[in-house]
Amino acid sequence: MNELVVISGKGGTGKTSLMAAFAALAGDAVLCDADVDAPDLHLILDPSTRFQTPFQSGNTAQIRQEDCTGCGLCRDLCRWDAVREDFRIDPLDCEGCGVCVWFCPEKAIDFPPNVCGEWFVSDTRFGTMVHARLAPAEENSGKLVALVRQEARKIAETEGRSLLLTDGPPGVGCPVIASLGGAAAALVVAEPTVSGVHDLDRVADLASFFKVPVMVCVNKADINPETAETIRRTAEQKGHTFAGSIPFHEDFTRAMIQKQSIEEYAPEGEAAAAVRALWRRIVEQMGSGLEF
């Protein structure tokens, strides 16, 4: 089973529109939305949830007032000043280090796990999708990315699918690192702007560091053909595969509003043709096991 991860140096490059089109073109892939901080593939694929599971990560200390003697040791030891004057712990300040729990002489501090979000297995018109939602201001999104990828892999193996399509997070942080390990290839979606070139460099280097073969495509290429050409040249100089260019086209937005991929909304259009050419190149690069 091959996994293609679609990533970008920053948000808003059109990753999800491409992912939805690839899902339509692949037909029988398992889909994974690993952009858990800002998932949006569900807006196009309109999944129906098969089941949902809470995502637990980290712990928050809670003092049981009836057992606390007010000795003050926890307040002295807490490096984050999370223990208030009245010996209640402010959950927003508690970092979950567990020091107070360990040292409290009365064992008066509970340490329950945090529920930071939830993850879902859903049915879509293009196959099973695993996705998640991290609660506002919660951390550990890298752990949640690893979890949804792991579950999506299990499903792909159980269902005998040859392709796992993962919509990765943007940037170069922990969630992106968690989305890359073990992938067969990464497609980096870049915009033809100065910052787009810089973002592409960073994320492509990151994928190469993890020995994941990199393919590059430029979205909205016609808004700045010169920079799009710079991206193509730079990608090839660095040994990446330049997989293609997609023009800026309002059909992408119109398709999104209709909860459709570009392949469903305007299959005869210029934009859909460019995406199909891109997909063909990706399939060629990834080799056997994939069908187009």
Name the residue nearer to ligand SF4 (CB basis): 75 or 280: 75
Q: Are 231 and 197 in contact (CB under 8 A)?
A: yes
What does the alpha-carbon distance between residue 146 and residue 280 come to, in Å, rounded to a whole number? 28
> Is 102 an interacting residue with respect to ligand SF4 (CB under 6 A)?
no
The piece of 1-9, 75-83, 224-232, 270-278 that touches ligand SF4 (CB under 6 A) is 75-83
> Is 264 an interacting residue with respect to ligand SF4 (CB under 6 A)?
no
> Is 110 an interacting residue with respect to ligand SF4 (CB under 6 A)?
no
Query: Bridge partners of 30?
Result: 164
Number of residues that bind ligand SF4 (CB under 6 A): 27
The structure tokens 């939805």 sit at: 20
Could you tell me the smallest distance in angstroms from the CB atom of residue 140 to ligand SF4? 16
> Is 73 an interacting residue with respect to ligand SF4 (CB under 6 A)?
yes
Q: Which two tokens stand for residue 33?
A: 């939305």
Name the residue nearer to ligand SF4 (CB basis): 26 or 94: 94
Q: Which two tokens stand for residue 153?
A: 């892999």
Element holding 274 (H helix, E strand): helix 270-286
Name the residue nearer to ligand SF4 (CB basis): 106 or 251: 106
Q: Are 265 and 254 in contact (CB under 8 A)?
A: yes
Pairing of strands 48-59, 62-63: unpaired
Name the residue nearer to ligand SF4 (CB basis): 106 or 118: 106
Name the residue nearer to ligand SF4 (CB basis): 59 or 208: 59
Name the residue nearer to ligand SF4 (CB basis): 1 or 99: 99
Residue 288 DSSP symbol: T
Pairing of strands 127-134, 214-219: unpaired
What does the alpha-carbon distance between residue 62 and residue 74 come to, in Å, rounded to a whole number? 11
Q: Which residues are within 8 A (CB) of 222 and not within 5 positions of it... i.e. 6 or more apart? A: 228, 247, 248
One of 43, 71, 194, 257 touching ligand SF4 (CB under 6 A) = 71
One of 62, 87, 202, 213 touching ligand SF4 (CB under 6 A) = 87
> Is 176 an interacting residue with respect to ligand SF4 (CB under 6 A)?
no
Q: What count of other Cβ atoms lies within 10 Å of the Cβ of residue 40? A: 18
The piece of 28-36, 74-82, 124-132, 263-271 that touches ligand SF4 (CB under 6 A) is 74-82
> Is 91 an interacting residue with respect to ligand SF4 (CB under 6 A)?
no
> Rg of the chain over CA atoms, in angstroms?
23
Query: By the criterion CB under 6 A, which residues form the site for ligand SF4?
Result: 61, 63, 68-74, 77-78, 80, 82-83, 87, 89, 94-100, 104, 106, 108-109
